[in-house]
Structure formats: structure tokens, C-alpha cells
Structure 1
Amino acid sequence: MINKICNLAREAGAAIMDIYHSNKLLDISYKLDESPVTNADTVSNKIIKDGLFSISPNILVLSEEDLNNVTYDKFWNTYWLVDPLDGTKEFLNKNGEFTVNISLIEHGIPILGVVYAPYFNILYFAFAKQAWKINALGYKKKISVVQSNIPIYVVSRSHSNTKLYNFIKKEKKKYIIKNLGSSLKFCYVAEGKAQFYPRFGKTYIWDTAAGHAIVQAAGGSVVSYQTKKSLNYSLVSKRSLINPDFLVLS
């Protein structure tokens, strides 16, 4: 199954890149929270949903782009969680830092995760407690977290606040900060390019689940800032789509 999901992410990524490189005007609208949505989001969403239904017709799919008709019940113990284009602002700003995120949730735990960065043609995936990266040349390697005496903090390129920087300054005397878009921040921690990703502010479960699966399989953790417990994606027990403030730790 993991190979099929990786291929599906690549297919969605290729469709996104066709729009990214097109000279046609983008179809842009805005949600209630003022976050942008483009035709690249909707095209990727359709490819992924159709593909997941073909691969596993009995597993429900929750996508960022399809929330209006969701009814939570016992059947959501296992479900696919999808962000068809994570980092739409980065897509619009043409910096390449956007991803396709697909994860499989089982009893609130992300047991499979795929993050594909189509601009860079880099694929990260995790399953059965192992995490992998396939680079642009097709080279596949197992990845794991790495500690550092001078840790690198990856922070959101599009979302920052005073609380975030106060937290970093309080934690370490020496550190490096790198700004990065989308779920690539999780992947940087997972492969040892960074040690911490603190996030204070509103995020949704589809923003984090795939990256969470990869970090966890690579030996790291994704925990609530307040409780220090692992983020949970159960829709049966809590039914909330919003994450608490969280820390990604190597």
C-alpha cells in the first residue's frame, strides 16, 4: 500500500506543477479564515480522493478541501487524512516550499505518512516504524533524527509570533533559526537537518498528520506544548480539527 500512496502523491504533485508552471491565471478564492485556495488545491484533491477510493474503498477520507459533508461516527476509527496542497501561500509566492500530504489514521495515531515536495521532487514516507527519503535523483535512504549542540529551529515562513521567539530564546543559548514552508519542517527534523519545530498558533490536523508519522518513525516526537502528550487525531473521541500549540522534537 505504501508504494501506491507514494505514487498517488507524485501524481497529484505533477498536476500541481503543471498549474505552477502554467501561464494561465490562477483561480484563487479565500476560506472563512482568509487562507487561499487555488485550482491546484482542487485538482490535487480530486486525484488523491479518487486514488484512495480505488486503493481502499472501505476507508473514509477526510481532506482539507472537503469538510462540508463530514459526519463523525464510529467509522472514523480508521481514515485517510489529506492535505492536497500544504503551503498554498508558498505556492503562490513561487518559492517551491509546498507539499502533498497523505496520512492514514488508526485510533487517533498516524500509522502511515507520505509528504511529497513536487517542486524539489523529494519524497518522504513512513510506515511500520521506519522513515525514508527519496531524493530528486531517485536515491532512497532511511532517515532518522540527529541531535546537535547548536540546534536548528525550523519555523513557519508565513506564520510567526512573539511567543515563538521568546520560547526559542529561553530554551537555548546558541541556536540557528531557519524559515521554511509547509510540512517540510517536519521532514527536516526527521532527516536530521533540524532539531526542533515549535508551532504556536492555529493549525489543523491535516497540516501535521503526515509529517507527524514521518518524525515519529524517524525517532522523534510531536507533542502538545501544554500537556507534552503526543498529538492525537481521533475524530471519534474529540472531533476537533484544530491542533493545540505543539513541539516537534528530535
Structure 2
Amino acid sequence: MDVSALLDSVEGIAHDAGQAIMAVYARDFSIEEKADKSPLTEADKAAHDVIVKGLHALPGGIPVLSEENTEGFAGADANGRYWLVDPLDGTKEFIKRNGEFTVNIALIEHGKPVLGVVVAPALEVSYLAAEGTGAFKVTWGEGQSGERQPIRVAGKPAEGATWRVVGSRSHPSPDLAEWLEQLGPHDMVPMGSSLKLCLIAEGAADVYPRLGPTCLWDTGAAHAVVEQAGGRVETLAGQPLRYATPQEHLNPYFIVWGSQ
């Protein structure tokens, strides 16, 4: 399967998962608490089942690392590939019913995200990218074309200009204030889930400093979108964020830049 066809297939799987999420979103639902105290809903489980079934049906037999079944992941395949999945990123936003939650599916190859699909079913928008294909935004629903529109980062703001800084809506960080003081004049753009990275990718924000805990599956898909749109996702040491050791689920602190 070529890259374009694979991207189409993964986009379809993510949309199917989004439909499963919205079926739960439309009614009352139960909420559990995982071992790390984070919430878990019926929608997380339903989306996980849809995605894993869909990815296993694709050619290649690439293993799947999903937030909802980390124990079932034995490692990357002989070619260093694995699927990295967050069936419902932004569960807190889902519970708040503010729409800022996503389905994240990424293909990792030798530690790098080479394909990513992010679907925000309640907002009726998706972002997708693959190496050699570019990055795109799709808006569907009433009055929308549903066609892929190429996206590009905004580039570095001019000297003295106000930076548009995107930040977490549900995870404030005490380290952020000091970092922002060094940045200079800025406006904050609050957003939930992996949509924060997607705002950088489409040029709606300039930088996203994440000085707090995240996991691999929170960033992989949108990371691919940012890179293919011309941006960077780097550790505080200026190194590309990597996914080569998936047995270690936590990311280091990182910065998403809307420029090269």
C-alpha cells in the first residue's frame, strides 16, 4: 500500500472511531479512574476497539501501541515501525463537553512519526499528514466542502511582534510563566488535546511550550502534521522529540515551533 492510500485508510479508521465517540457523547456515560488518576470513559474503550480492528486489517501486520492497551504491545516490528494511538485524547475536555478532544493515530518509523491523522469529531475538523505528501486540514459538516486544504506554519514572528502562544486548557504548568517571561510579548490561546499542535501546523499560533507531562500517544500524530507543515517539535535541549523507545511512555518537556 502506497503512502497516499495508507493515509486514506487511516483517515477512514479515525473517522470511524470518531463516530463511536460521538455516539457516547450524545448520551449520559460512565466515568472510571485509571491507576494514574486520569479519567476513562466508554468512548475511550469504544474508539480503541474500532482503531485496533481497523489497523490490524491493514497490510503489513504493524504492531499497535494504544493508550488503552499498553500491555499488549510487544515492541516495534523488524523495520522499526509501529502504530501509536490515542483513541480519545482530551478525555477531560470530552467530559466537560467543550468539543476539544481528538482521535490520534500515528505511524512511527525508526523513532520518527512519518504519518499522522488527528480527528476532532465534535468540531468536525481533521488534520492529516504523511512524509512526501504534505499536511492538510479538512473541515466537514453543513456548508463545508470536506476537501483537504494544504496547511503551513506561520513562520517566526517579526522582531518585537506579539507571539501567539497556545497552551493547555486543563493542564496548567508552574514552569510556563518563567518561560513566557523570557519569550517576550505574547497572547495566550487556550486549547485542549492534540489540537494545540495542530494550531501551530495551520499557522493559527506561533509556539506551544509543553512544560508538563505528556505521553507518546498524546503527540505522535499531531507531531507528524506539524513537521510536514514546516514546523518543529523539540526537547528543551533543541533535539527532535523521538519515539524510539516506546516502552518509556512519557515524553520529556518539549516546544512546538511554527518555523524551521
Pairwise TM-score range, normalised by the shorter structure: over 0.9
Gaps of at least 5 residues in structure 1 are: none
Aligned 8 A contact 2:64 2:73 in 1? no
The question of 1:164 aligning with 2:176 is answered: yes
- Whole-Å Cα distance in 1 between the matches of residues 37 and 176 of structure 2? 22
- CA gap of 1:73–1:140, structure 2 versus 1, over 3 A, is closer
Q: Does 1:17 align with 2:22?
A: yes
**1:210 counterpart letter in structure 2:** A
SS at match of 1:90: helix
Q: Are 2:112 and 1:134 equivalent residues in the alignment?
A: no
Tell me the secondary structure at the aligned position of residue 62 of structure 1: strand
Runs of 4+ in 1 over 6 A off after TM superposition: none
Show the 5 A alignment for 1:99-138. 99-129=102-132, 130-136=134-140, 137=144, 138=146
Distance 1:54 1:232 in 2: 27
Q: Which sections of structure 2, spanning at least 5 residues, go unmatched? A: 1-5
Q: Which residue of 1 aligns with 2:52?
A: 49
* 1:215–1:221 Cα contact (<8 Å) kept: yes
Instruction: Tell me the distance in 2 between the aligned counterparts of 1:177 and 1:74.
Output: 41
**TM-score normalised by structure 1 residue count:** 0.94
Distance in 2 of aligned mates of 1:161 and 1:52: 35
Corresponding residue of 2:249 = 241
Name the residue aligned to 1:69: 72
Q: Is the 8 A contact 1:86 1:100 kept in 2?
A: yes
Distance apart, 1:69 and its partner CA: 3.1
The amino acid of 1:249's aligned partner reads W
Once the two structures are TM-superposed, the CA of residue 30 in structure 1 deviates from its matched residue by: 1.0
Equivalenced residue count is 244
Q: Secondary structure of the residue that 1:68 maps to in structure 2?
A: helix
State the alpha-carbon separation in 2 of the partners of residues 68 and 240 from structure 1. 12
Indicate the residue corresponding to 1:81 in structure 2. Answer: 84
C-alpha distance after superposition, 1:106-152 (max 9, x if no partner): 00000000000000110100012410011121132100100333221
Q: Following the alignment from structure 2 to structure 1, what is the Cα–Cα distance between the partners of residues 138 and 38?
A: 30
The 1:192/1:11 distance shift into structure 2, 3 A limit, reads same
